Amino acid sequence: MIVLGLIHALFWLATGETWEGPLSIRKPILFGVSTGVTLISLGWIYSKLTPTNYDRWLGPILSASLLIEVGLITMQYWRGEASHFNHASAFDLVLDRSITFLIILASVAIFDLARRSFSDLNATTSMKFAIRSGMVFLLVSCGLGFFILFYGEYLVSLNMSPTTFGKAGVMKFPHGITIHAIQYLPMLVWAMSRLKIHEHRQIQAVKYAVSSMAVFLLFSMWQTFNGLDRFDIGWAGAIQLLIAFAFAIAVVLEIFNGMRNVQVPRLDQ
């Protein structure tokens, strides 16, 4: 899926295809790369869990459902048809409903993986915290995705744009904010462990990172559900952004202070 997305990215660069809109090349690119990276991350988390008897079919269901979903979205792009909220023909309607069903299947598997990650997890304390936080954010993203699907269908029934909340709220904005926390947070811990930063500082840095992402998620929801564009920022949104930025700075400072305290071996030892 990642390769599929990258091939479409090269095609986009070569042809200058449009990036915005329901028929844009953006969908096969972003869905391919994003879903492929997410599957790699979930497979890595599976490797840190105690195996169960139903893993033999749960893993393939997760992988197959997302692979087919991205395949259908890509097919619709090449057909010149929208992949979501498309009721133009019986075939398009079946594809739209199939995509929703596949997302439900994948979300059930993701929920099970998140549930198990809070019990037996073969990782350091800081990595456990990063994985569990990332899975919670991924579940939030799934929930927001379902809201977009079902509320979007309601808007379609009213002959309104299914992707806009109120006057200018971008419904995919909060959905996209948290979907890749499952990569960002574990990679943060991995980088700090490579820098030999002490475990307690790693945990504190992850706490700041989670707080930053949570506040930024709050900002995205504030903008969207108040019918505001992502860049139409008032005083309330500005305060939330400043708080999120402050937590992000705290992450950097925690890493910097941790690096200063790393014991460098002497040459004569």
Q: What is the pLDDT of residues 11-41, one digit of tens each?
A: 999 988 888 777 888 899 999 999 999 999 9
H/E stretch holding 118 = none
Of the chain, the percentage scoring pLDDT greater than 90 comes to: 61
Cβ atoms of 250 and 208 within 8 Å: the answer is yes
pLDDT of residue 46 exceeding 70: yes
CA–CA dist 210, 217 (Å, integer): 10
Strand partners, 169: 165
Q: CB neighbours of 83 closer than 8 A, spacing ≥ 6?
A: 22, 27, 72, 73, 76, 77, 95, 96, 99
pLDDT of residue 265 exceeding 60: no
In the prediction, which pLDDT does 268 show?
A: 52
In the prediction, which pLDDT does 51 show?
A: 84
Of the chain, the percentage scoring pLDDT greater than 70 comes to: 97
H/E stretch holding 1 = none
Q: How confident is the model at residue 266 (pLDDT cuts 50, 70, 90)?
A: very low
Nearest CA to 205 out of 147, 252, 144 is that of 252
pLDDT of residue 262 exceeding 80: no
pTM for the full predicted model: 0.90
What tens digit of pLDDT does each residue of 62-82 get? 999 999 999 999 999 998 888
In the prediction, which pLDDT does 2 show?
A: 94
pLDDT of residue 263 exceeding 70: no
- For the chain, give the mean pLDDT: 90
What tens digit of pLDDT does each residue of 171-226 get? 889 998 889 999 999 999 999 999 988 889 999 999 999 999 999 999 999 999 99
* Residue reference for tokens 């305290």: 261
